[in-house]
Amino acid sequence: MGWLNKIILGGLGFTIGGSIGAIIGIIIANSIDGASKYFIGDDNFNTEGCASRKYSREQTTNDFRMAFLVLFAAVMKADGTIKRSELDVVKRFLAQNYDDETATEALHCLKQILEQHIDVIAVSRQCGENMNYSTRIHLIHLLFSIASADGQIDDSEVKVIEQIGAGMFISFDDLKSIEAMFKPREDNKKWAYDILEIQPNASQDEIKKAYRKMAMKYHPDKVATLGESAKKIATEKFRKVKEAYDTLLR
């Protein structure tokens, strides 16, 4: 269990405690004898001041990966049925973005997380208190991206992702902007306006101003600390903002 050994030896930051730590602790305890002593869990973990702590790049990346696995498990469980197609989508995503060992162990973790109870509100708030805003936006984008990768996204999944976004203190406009990138456009005639967070009666100057603001917010460099895979995904998000802008200025 190479990756799990690494995170026990200092590869995790804020996710070593709280609701996420309680979940991950069970996984590692099942894999490595005595590993659970490294995880504090809900009762003793104090998040006060965590947002200002300095973590290494490896810790930041592993925290994001763990938070994603836990929150996506919550999305998969939203309708009460774990779909094989969703597991296949996650498997492809992990294979495309991580080395073979990391992808295999991450999938193994996900399968064990799916067997546990997930307190969505508690996990979301833990992320919201410890991740910067750009990272939280990226996490919501990733949840929508994988949830819709099989060609559809259920209302129950949307509801859970919206709940996660609210728990992570994502603004309503930002949440709807990301959601508009993935919901069928035939169901939302004003998708381009929603992505740019403006009203349908916006002037050309307002559209241009909104685009500059969104381009800065979603620039791939904002998530550079999460590694190349995150930058690649963020580039796709950036492209959708540009597509919305071009659509409105035709």
Assigned domain for 8 exists: no
Look up the domain containing 201 and give its range: 183-250
Residue 72 lies in a domain: no
The CATH number of the domain holding residue 216 is 1.10.287.110
Q: Is 119 helix (H, G, I), strand (E, B) or coil?
A: coil
pTM higher than 0.85: no
Answer with the residue of higher pLDDT: 150 or 199.
199
Q: What is the pLDDT of residues 57-76, one digit of tens each?
A: 667 777 888 888 999 899 98
Tokens 């800065």 belong to which residue?
216
What DSSP string describes 33-92? TTGGGG---TTT---TTGGG----HHHHHHHHHHHHHHHHHHHHTTTS---HHHHHHHHH
Q: How many domains does the chain have?
A: 1
Helices (H), 98-154: 100-113, 120-130, 133-147
Q: Which residue has the tokens 């709940």?
A: 163
Q: What is the pLDDT of residues 188-219, one digit of tens each?
A: 889 999 999 999 999 999 999 999 999 888 88
37 in a structural domain: no
What does residue 57 show for φ and ψ, rounded to 5 degrees? Answer: -60, -40
Chain centre distance of CA 102: 18
Q: What pLDDT does 43 receive?
A: 44
- Specify if 199 maps to a domain: yes
State residue 9's pLDDT score.
Answer: 52
Mean residue pLDDT of the chain comes to 80
Q: Are 32 and 1 in contact (CB under 8 A)?
A: yes
In a domain, 112, yes or no: no
Distance CA 194, CA 248 (A): 11
Q: How far apart are CA 224 and CA 135, in angstroms?
A: 10
